Chains A and B, each alone.
Chain A
Amino acid sequence: MNWGGRTLINVLAPRIVLAVLTLFIISLVIFFSVELLPGDTAEAMLGHDATVEALATLRRELQLDSPAYVRYWRWIIDLLHGDLGKSLSSGRAVSDLLAQRLPNTFFLAGFAALISVPLSFVLGVITALYRERAVDRGVNFVALAASSLPDFFVAYALILIFSVHLGWVPPISIISPESSLAERLYLTGLPALTLTFATSAYMLRMTRASILSLLSSPYIEMARLKGVSSGRVIVGHALPNALGPIANVTALTLAYLVVSVVVVETVFAYPGLGQLFVDSVSKRDIPVVQVVAMVFASTYIVLNLVADMVALAANPRLMHPR
């Protein structure tokens, strides 16, 4: 692809280099901050009435007796060789853990995104179209209220209504690798809905705001003067120019969906990455914490990159910064 002399590679390459550097710095920060936490894996695993010998044996076995920088060095060398390492507390390969949990988290985030992105986009356009009218105010009020409530509260409220009182869906979302797609959708309905509540308002308001800000620009006025209907003005003229910021917000929201599922996964006992992360931090299981943090960070970076590309595609002027 070629945009006015600059290739996609020219645009992407520096960003990718920066991304790798960011990941490296994040890995350092995570490793040494977990290191700063009091206690280690051996203590977390054996509990407070562990014998001194058992602790010593375990530390030796997990190589916790070598200094932190040595362990970091080993970890990063292994990583560069494609080995994600082994969980300290369970001895299982981190890649196996990820293979189990990551698809679950992406499935839930994807499901939530499939509901919330089109919903907020359409509602955003509608509220822009009918701004300051009852529809606009009503939708805005509900969306803001929903996103202001904490995730766990929304989750509990939904459980109370849809599981305990109505009995339509189960209150917990235990899925297994054998679950069919239909089962998965049924079981993850409530968590996906919770996440939709949490994320829609931001995207909706951004869509609405970026369309509205364009409505006063001269070319829109011109279109209006030519007698174009207000629906076509918004969808055909304003929306393409508003796509950049909307894509940005959507990307951030998607990233948020992936990394913020911790609370929702706990409430619904959903076997995803968030649960794994919480478990691992409390066990000081550094190899797992590192890799999960890397996954979260990469999600942010990749989605931001995609958002930039979408913004560029929607508005080629951005290729040539002044």
Chain B
Amino acid sequence: MAKVSERATDDISRRQLLGGASALVAAGAAGFAPGAAQAAGPRKGGLIKFGLEGGAQDNVLDPGTYGTQFVQSAGYMWGNGLVEIDGQGKLIPELAVEWNPDATAKTWVFKIRSGVEFHNGKTLTAEDIAYSLNHHRKKDSKSLARSVFAGVSDIKATAPLEITVTLDSANVDLPGLMADYHLLIMPDGGDPNAGIGTGPYVIEKFEPGVIVRGKRNEKYWKAGRAHADVVEIIAINDIVARQSALQGGVVHFITRPDPKLGKNNPALKWFDLPSAMHYLFAMRCDSAPFDNNDLRLAMKYAVDRQDLLTRVYANSGKLGNDHPVPAFDPMFSAEVPIRAYDPDKAKFHFKKSGFSGPVQLSVSDAGFTSATAAATLYKEHAAKAGIDIALNRVPADGYWSDVWKKKPFCPAYWGGRVTAGLMLQAVYTSQSPNNETFWQRPAFDKLLAQAQAELNVARRKEMFHDLQMMLWEDGGTVQPLFANTLFATSAKVDGFAPSPLFTAFRAAEQLYLTS
């Protein structure tokens, strides 16, 4: 066990170093000064209102259904998870106070916080944790988090304040999995739709697709959080409506403001934060023409990433390098060469591939935000290398069932996973149902499994470098960029402490009114 805690500290410093280098500098530049706010002491009381997107009439409080900001934020009003992600992307204790693997990383023991009370007065025990986790993995579960538990063979309470998770194969990323926003803790046997948890706000009102209101949980266990008396989340799906609600003073916080509007308004604060969300073009490696790596390389060299970032996304993002590991991830390898726009190399590989004629790209904005505009620019970039991309516009309706994973070349996006290992597992392993490029390399699968069982961070990092190189050299993904996430708040609130993943989900317990 001593070895493990050593590993943990090592992990922390790496994450801080890497996270600090990118995420926080950007946040600071956007007006967020960590620590400064705490010095003055957050003000208690008042009503804070959020204007969030993703409200719909089918919203329910069952955490297994969460897929949009409106309910994700509502979830962290009433609930807590086992593990929290802090501003540096580091895993910190929430309802679990510590976690330790056995020597093989196949059995994990989580110690549960004592003295925590649910909104209904019940005291938190390991049985509640086991019930809440098993809600997602029981046989007929339709939870969106079902895949989180793919490699988990058992979860049970092994002491009043201890649960043991048993895995089929070793996975050092298990604590990261437990930070998933679906895994909110409910009382044993409770109705998943009741919204009863240990969280900062007791749900008073829940109107699907309209509003969620909670009043402060006076017995909330977490120190220095939950400042406002009442928090309201209002569903505002229209971007201009959201923005005018913020500018008109109706709400204090909005997701995804329009960068073209109001960025110079001194009454607003902007947060332009790097995220693990990435946009890509997927090439099917199991069939012609993209079973040919030269053609794949040609397509990778033929895109001017910086141009896309500047012209389509107003520089709100980071350059991608054809693998899904963001620069703030501790497993990110800086040694993978940066792939720049190179029409000559593109021309060379295109010629070498022996392929001729136009390359068919099926595109719709359902693939990722502004995918059509990005593809149009991509076509221009490729034309300079003598490659003709034929754009086939396809309908957004049914895109994910009829185009994605069906057509040889099409856009797609991923919101990222808590750790690089989970992301690679979810999309790039041979047997994954999400393997959109049909890129199947047993060597990659094997190395990833080894890396996931490797408790030594330095050795794991080397393995992850090799994995990123394999995708960079041979993978089926042209991944031009990582998208930033944008938020704006009114100058009347402070305390927003975004994390690199699940950025603003816990904002309800963080914000406080400054005047």
CA distance A220 to B508 in the complex (A): 70
CB distance from A54 to the nearest CB of B (A): 5
**A37 x B397 contact (CB < 8 A):** yes
Q: Which chain B positions have C-beta within 8 A of A45?
A: 58, 65
> Which B residue's beta carbon lies closest to that of A88?
B58
CB distance from A41 to the nearest CB of B (A): 9
Residue A267 interfacial (CB < 8 Å): yes
CB distance from A189 to the nearest CB of B (A): 13
Within B127-184, which residues are at the interface with A (CB < 8 Å)? 140-144, 146-147
> Which A residue's beta carbon lies closest to that of B436?
A48
**A279 x B58 contact (CB < 8 A):** yes
Within A169-196, which residues are at the interface with B (CB < 8 Å)? 170-172, 174, 176
Give the dominant DSSP class at B's interface. Answer: loop
Residue B4 interfacial (CB < 8 Å): no
> Which B residue's beta carbon lies closest to that of A268?
B241
CB distance from B205 to the nearest CB of A (A): 8
Interface string of B32-51 (1 = CB under 8 A from A): 00000000000000000001
CA distance A87 to B57 in the complex (A): 9
> Which B residue's beta carbon lies closest to that of A170?
B250
> Which A residue's beta carbon lies closest to that of B57?
A279
Residue A21 interfacial (CB < 8 Å): no
**A164 x B244 contact (CB < 8 A):** yes
Residue B234 interfacial (CB < 8 Å): yes
Interface string of A267-294 (1 = CB under 8 A from B): 1110100011001101101001000000
Residue B312 interfacial (CB < 8 Å): no
Q: How many residues of A contact B (CB 8 A)?
A: 48
Residue A241 interfacial (CB < 8 Å): no
Q: Which chain B positions have C-beta within 8 A of A167?
A: 248-249
CB distance from A268 to the nearest CB of B (A): 7
**A43 x B237 contact (CB < 8 A):** no
> Which A residue's beta carbon lies closest to that of B143?
A54
Residue A50 interfacial (CB < 8 Å): yes
Q: Which chain A positions have C-beta within 8 A of B402?
A: 38-39
CA distance A45 to B400 in the complex (A): 12
**B241 x A172 contact (CB < 8 A):** yes
Within B179-237, which residues are at the interface with A (CB < 8 Å)? 205, 207-211, 234-237
CA distance A156 to B244 in the complex (A): 9
Interface size bucket, B side? 35 or more
**B209 x A275 contact (CB < 8 A):** yes
Residue A53 interfacial (CB < 8 Å): yes
CB-contact partner of A176 in B56, B211, B250, under 8 A: B211
Within A27-65, which residues are at the interface with B (CB < 8 Å)? 37-39, 43, 45-54, 57-58, 61
**A285 x B236 contact (CB < 8 A):** no
Interface string of A136-166 (1 = CB under 8 A from B): 0000000000000000000010011001100
Residue A97 interfacial (CB < 8 Å): yes
Q: Which chain B positions have C-beta within 8 A of A46?
A: 142, 144
Q: Which chain B positions have C-beta within 8 A of A61?
A: 142
Residue A230 interfacial (CB < 8 Å): no
CB distance from B113 to the nearest CB of A (A): 31
CB-contact partner of B245 in A51, A52, A91, A171, under 8 A: A171
Q: Which chain B positions have C-beta within 8 A of A266?
A: 237-238, 241
**B248 x A87 contact (CB < 8 A):** no
Q: Which chain A positions have C-beta within 8 A of B210?
A: 174, 176, 271
CB distance from A128 to the nearest CB of B (A): 39
**B241 x A164 contact (CB < 8 A):** no
Q: Which chain A positions have C-beta within 8 A of B144?
A: 46-47, 50, 54
CB distance from A260 to the nearest CB of B (A): 16
| Given A48-B400, A279-B57, A269-B235 contact (CB < 8 Å) | yes
Residue B97 interfacial (CB < 8 Å): no
**A90 x B397 contact (CB < 8 A):** no
CA distance A255 to B402 in the complex (A): 37
> Which B residue's beta carbon lies closest to that of A46?
B144
CA distance A170 to B244 in the complex (A): 9
Residue A89 interfacial (CB < 8 Å): yes
**B400 x A269 contact (CB < 8 A):** no
**A174 x B240 contact (CB < 8 A):** no
**A97 x B57 contact (CB < 8 A):** yes
| Given A172-B241, A172-B245, A269-B238, A39-B398 contact (CB < 8 Å) | yes
CA distance A43 to B143 in the complex (A): 13
Q: Which chain B positions have C-beta within 8 A of A37?
A: 397-398
CA distance A53 to B250 in the complex (A): 43
Q: Which chain B positions have C-beta within 8 A of A51?
A: 146-147, 433
Within A70-114, which residues are at the interface with B (CB < 8 Å)? 87, 89-92, 97, 100
Interface string of B243-254 (1 = CB under 8 A from A): 011011110000
> Which A residue's beta carbon lies closest to that of B414?
A49
CB-contact partner of A271 in B59, B205, B207, under 8 A: B207
Q: Which chain A positions have C-beta within 8 A of B56?
A: 89, 279, 282-283
Residue B387 interfacial (CB < 8 Å): no
Q: Which chain B positions have C-beta within 8 A of A160?
A: 244
**B397 x A43 contact (CB < 8 A):** no
CA distance A285 to B141 in the complex (A): 20
CB distance from B65 to the nearest CB of A (A): 8
CA distance A30 to B146 in the complex (A): 34
| Given A38-B402, A269-B241, A49-B434 contact (CB < 8 Å) | yes
**B398 x A38 contact (CB < 8 A):** yes
| Given A39-B401, A164-B247, A172-B241, A90-B59 contact (CB < 8 Å) | yes
Q: Which chain A positions have C-beta within 8 A of B383?
A: none
CA distance A45 to B210 in the complex (A): 18
Q: Which chain B positions have C-beta within 8 A of A176?
A: 205, 207, 210-211
CA distance A48 to B58 in the complex (A): 18
Residue B270 interfacial (CB < 8 Å): no
List the 8 closest A-B pairs by CB distance, nearest first.
A38-B398, A89-B58, A90-B58, A48-B400, A171-B244, A171-B248, A163-B248, A39-B398
* Interface set of A (CB-CB < 8 Å, partner B): 37-39, 43, 45-54, 57-58, 61, 87, 89-92, 97, 100, 156, 159-160, 163-164, 167, 170-172, 174, 176, 266-269, 271, 275-276, 279-280, 282-283, 285, 288
Q: Give 19 A-B contacts (CB < 8 Å), ordered by A residue.
A: A38-B398, A38-B402, A39-B398, A43-B401, A46-B142, A48-B400, A48-B404, A53-B146, A57-B141, A87-B57, A97-B57, A159-B240, A159-B244, A159-B248, A170-B245, A171-B244, A269-B238, A276-B209, A279-B56
